[in-house]
Amino acid sequence: MEKLRRAVNQVAYTPLSQRFSSLSPLQLSLIPLLSLASNLYRFAISLRHRLFRLNLLTVYRLPVPVISVGNLTWGGNGKTPMVEFVARLLADTGIPPLILTRGYGGADEAKMLQRHLCGTSAKIGVGANRAATAYSFLKQYGYMNLHNSTYYERLLSHEKVNNHSNSGHIGAAILDDGMQHLSLWRDLEIVMVNAMMPWGNGQLLPLGPLREPLTALNRADIIVIHHADLVAKHDIEALESTIREVQKMGPTIVDRLDFSDHHLFQLEDLDMISARLEELESKFATKPVVIVTEKDYDRAPNVLENLKPFDVLVLCCNLQILAHKGSTEDGFKLIIKQHLKQDDRV
């Protein structure tokens, strides 16, 4: 079994262009089966995202802020050190954190965190159902309302609290390995990327190391490059370029539906738009954003609300006078005023 695991891992981290020169006959023979499994996996994660979007699977929201620390690939991305870093940050500012971890591999990571954070206010909850684990701890210890206390201001300051008691209410939750744990709402998404082996061969599990397509990085609020000091500068720059390309300002793909000017939207129009949005979300594993003109919004603001849960942005415009060959906006205004002044009625 260990030999098979190593063979699959080698396939996952070998670039497509180097397969035939780098892989053994055994590893090459696994590729068709791994490709089939990868396609099934892609369908499964797409279906899962759609079920959550349709509210057929429940997303639980805790009464405290939730910080998710996760990644796009399997293992070695620095999640556990980041979880510890965030936990200490919160504990040091007087906000006792609750770390929610599934407890893989005999809960070795949970035991390590427990040892490292001993003496702080951090608590660790282990269980596959992390929402249930969280509610159990919240019921036992109670929780803070950061927005109605001085703790939020303390978090934004550099003040360090000397009292590291294990008692006290829970102020925030840290979701360990949480990027794919969609059943728990998060207020901040931190994604770890391993600079030494960022994307492997770029394929989804089990053919490659990716848990989701790279477009899922759009869900991240913060992306941290782990092991950045162990690779060459140009490798970091290339990795940053890839991340920026995925997260760049503007859409990764533009899809459009055209209607006549001053079109009055009907229910069938909204059904068609919603169907197209669902198709795009399923295909690219990220939620599309709808952009309408300002006139569309003014004509039917209530109708456009029916496109929830997709965000609808309104494209507004105004006139800007560009300077050209000595002509300026102020000069253009002066011309208008002069013509008005020449009118006998003014």
Q: What is the pTM of this model?
A: 0.73
DSSP state, residue 321: P
Q: What is the pairing mode between strands 123-126 and 172-176?
A: unpaired
Among residues 217, 247, 277, the one where a domain terminates is: 247
Q: Which domain holds residue 36?
A: 2-53
- Alpha-carbon distance values, 210 to 101, 102, 140, 198, 217 (Å): 21, 20, 37, 9, 12
Give the residue-averaged pLDDT of 325-339. 82
Count of all residues that appear for the chain in the document: 346
Residues 297, 209 share a domain: no
Q: Which of 177, 187, 6 is nearest to 77 (CA)?
A: 177
**Angle made by CA atoms 76, 65, 114, in degrees to the nearest 5:** 45
Tens digits of per-residue pLDDT, 117-163? Answer: 999 999 999 999 999 999 999 999 999 876 655 666 666 666 677 65
The per-residue pLDDT for range 261-312, each reduced to its tens digit, is 888 888 888 889 989 998 888 777 677 889 988 888 888 887 778 888 888 8
- Pick from 64, 76, 220: nearest CA to 147: 64
Strand-pair category, 66-71 with 188-194: parallel
Dihedral sign for Cα atoms in the order 339, 340, 341, 342: positive
- The string of pLDDT tens digits covering residues 54-72 is 889 999 999 999 999 999 9
Q: How confident is the model at residue 105 (pLDDT cuts 50, 70, 90)?
A: low
Residue 59: inside a domain: no
- The answer to whether residues 146 and 180 belong to one domain is yes
| Contacts of residue 226, Cβ cutoff 8 Å, sequence gap at least 6 | 77, 78, 192, 193, 194, 195
- pLDDT grade for 37, boundaries at 50, 70 and 90: very high
Residue 11 shares a structural domain with residue 77: no
- Note whether 27 and 43 are same-domain residues: yes
213 and 89 in a common domain:
yes
Q: Are 209 and 200 in contact (CB under 8 A)?
A: yes
Using CA atoms, how far apart are residues 138 and 128, in angstroms rounded to an integer?
A: 17
The three-state secondary structure class of 165 is coil
Does 60 map to a domain? Answer: no
Is residue 132 one of the residues assigned to a domain? yes
